Amino acid sequence: MKNKLQKEERWIAMYLRVSTHGQFEKGYGIGDQEIQCRKYLDLYYPDSKIKIYKEEGKSAKNLERPKMQEMLKDLRSNKIRVIIAFKLDRLTRNVPDTYKLISEVLDYDCTLVAVVDRLDISSANGRMLVGILSIIAQWEREVISERTIAALVEMAREGKYPLCNSPFGWSKDQNKKLHVKEEEAQILNSLCDMYLEGYSLEEMRVIIKEKYNFTRTPTNMKKLLLREENFGHWNFRGEVYTDIFPPIFTKDKYKMLREQLLHREIHRNERKRYYFHRLVYCKCGKRCHHEATRKKTKIFYYYHCPVCKVRFNQNKLTDAVINEILLYIREHKVNNQIEAINKSIIENKEAMETLFHEYQVRKTLDKDNYNFTLKQLLKREKSLKKELKKMQLNEIDQFKALSYEEKHDYIHTYVSKIYMDPERKEPITIEYKSDKVTNLK
């Protein structure tokens, strides 16, 4: 049994809505709607309690609007006895939603009034008229939508970019033509090159922020890179346009990038065992797949070339390349990098001591701020020590003592590709992320 309020205790809900600035000019502005609604209420519901639900910049294509939902919640709580709107289409332009709204209004002993349309749903004729008007309103909305889409498609066929904001990488002139924005295109090309070279999205985020002061999440960077617009293709309303977006990448480069992105996504969990994951290439140019065999209680991991039908044992590959990798790191990662990390660790420790003093002694921080800041400093300390461990690692025995995932992270910090000889089953060259190559033959 619903706990209903007395009818005189319930209020009148005045719903006001505009979807575009143009409706202000046509006399459908929020203020105009409120004036007309109040005139009606002064005549038929004087001295009644009124609550206004005001919605600006919202379409009536469905009922999923903040103030509409708030009003429906109040209706279901039996707080509303009359809903008044300037016109029915202020409430909804969708036929199913209109009948849904009427049904709820009647279920909760409420009345619906549309001032201009002179609607009263208390009678069968009134409800029928509501249905007819809602059909007309939905038809009008669909016609406007079709005309808008047709105009946008026509612009696209003329080689113009019809949407409001220019995507990252391009700028739009007064004729709606797109041009490559060089500084943003440079960032996109840097991201693409780093990814193809083997950097992770997280590593790229840090480098790009430092180099270009460009901040994006790894997920957002992935979306930017996967856009077909990058090589000049744009899919709009079921048609592909090749003359709107000037390309930033070549199609071949984009194809390689997409292949890498999809490959990493599929094999993401394999890094726990294959620490040369996606780095091993056969001399024929094909990237090697992963393969494992079990002998009694031991598992052996391999990198298999699908073209040459040859596989390379992970343990033998490690023995063949790890000394070269460690030697490269000693020669090319200079001591001042280690010193810089040590300096950062000391500064981080001093920051924690200062934080403790401010909280415990001077009482200038509350507990929540103290805990939050301390958590960030401890996280940074852990990251710095992990990086220092990578830099200081220079013995093969130390490398072998690492976990599979630590080995993966360590190798991927420096190595871009390893090319293998299918006949001798030995590494030929190692390509590093610094673009330097070590020949092993």
Residues in contact with 188: Cβ distance below 8 Å, sequence separation at least 6, in sequence order: 168, 169, 224, 225, 230, 248, 249
| Per-residue tens of pLDDT for the chain, all 441 residues | 444 455 557 999 999 998 764 454 454 688 888 998 998 899 888 888 999 999 888 877 788 889 999 999 999 999 999 999 988 888 887 767 877 888 788 888 888 888 887 776 655 656 666 666 566 666 666 666 777 778 888 888 888 998 888 899 999 998 989 999 999 999 999 999 888 877 888 888 888 888 899 888 888 999 999 999 999 999 988 889 999 999 999 999 999 888 888 777 655 666 568 888 888 999 998 888 888 888 878 889 999 998 999 999 998 998 888 888 887 777 666 566 777 788 888 998 988 888 888 888 888 888 888 888 889 889 888 888 887 776 666 566 777 788 878 888 888 888 889 999 999 899 999 988 854 444 444
162 within a domain of the structure (yes/no): no
| 12, 140: one domain | yes
What CATH number corresponds to the domain at position 194?
Answer: 3.90.1750.20
| 288, 238: one domain | no
> Taking CA 309 as the corner, what is the angle to CA 303 and CA 313, rounded to the nearest 5 degrees?
30
| 128, 247: one domain | no
| 339, 429: one domain | yes
374 within a domain of the structure (yes/no): yes
CA 406 to chain centre: 28
Let me know if 367 is exposed, middle or buried by CB neighbors in 10 A (0-12, 13-18, 19+): exposed
48 within a domain of the structure (yes/no): yes
156 within a domain of the structure (yes/no): no
Which domain-ending residue is among 266, 300, 331? 266
Kindly report the three-state secondary structure assignment for every residue of 275-317: CCCCCEEECCCCECEEEEEEECCEEEEEEEECCCCEEEEHHHH
For residue 80, the SS3 value is strand
| 262, 311: one domain | no
| 185, 225: one domain | yes
192 within a domain of the structure (yes/no): yes
| 307, 430: one domain | yes
228 within a domain of the structure (yes/no): yes
Which domain-ending residue is among 217, 247, 266? 266
Predicted local confidence at residue 135, as pLDDT: 65
| 86, 226: one domain | no
Report DSSP letters for 187-210, one per residue.
HHHHHHHHHHHT--HHHHHHHHHH
| 313, 223: one domain | no
Predicted local confidence at residue 186, as pLDDT: 93
Report DSSP letters for 314-381, one per residue.
HHHHHHHHHHHHHHHHHHHS-HHHHHHHHHHHHHHHHHHHHHHIIIIIS--S-HHHHHHHHHHHHHHH
Which domain-ending residue is among 224, 244, 266? 266
Predicted local confidence at residue 183, as pLDDT: 93
Predicted local confidence at residue 396, as pLDDT: 66
pTM score:
0.47
Helix (H) or strand (E) holding 83: strand 80-85
Predicted local confidence at residue 148, as pLDDT: 74
Domain span holding position 202:
170-266
| 335, 261: one domain | no
Total of domains in the chain = 3
What CATH number corresponds to the domain at position 93?
Answer: 3.40.50.1390
| 291, 433: one domain | yes
| 176, 282: one domain | no
Residues in contact with 150: Cβ distance below 8 Å, sequence separation at least 6, in sequence order: none
Predicted local confidence at residue 130, as pLDDT: 62
Collect contacts of 70-77 with beta carbons under 8 A, ≥24 apart: 71/13, 71/15, 72/104, 74/13, 75/13, 75/104, 75/105, 75/108, 75/110, 76/104, 76/108
Predicted local confidence at residue 68, as pLDDT: 92
Q: Are residues 196 and 249 in contact, defined by beta-carbon separation less than 8 angstroms?
A: no
151 within a domain of the structure (yes/no): no
Q: Are residues 266 and 246 in contact, defined by beta-carbon separation less than 8 angstroms?
A: no
Q: Are residues 277 and 314 in contact, defined by beta-carbon separation less than 8 angstroms?
A: no
376 within a domain of the structure (yes/no): yes
Predicted local confidence at residue 137, as pLDDT: 61
What proportions of the chain, in percent to the nearest 5, are helix, strand and coil?
55, 20, 30
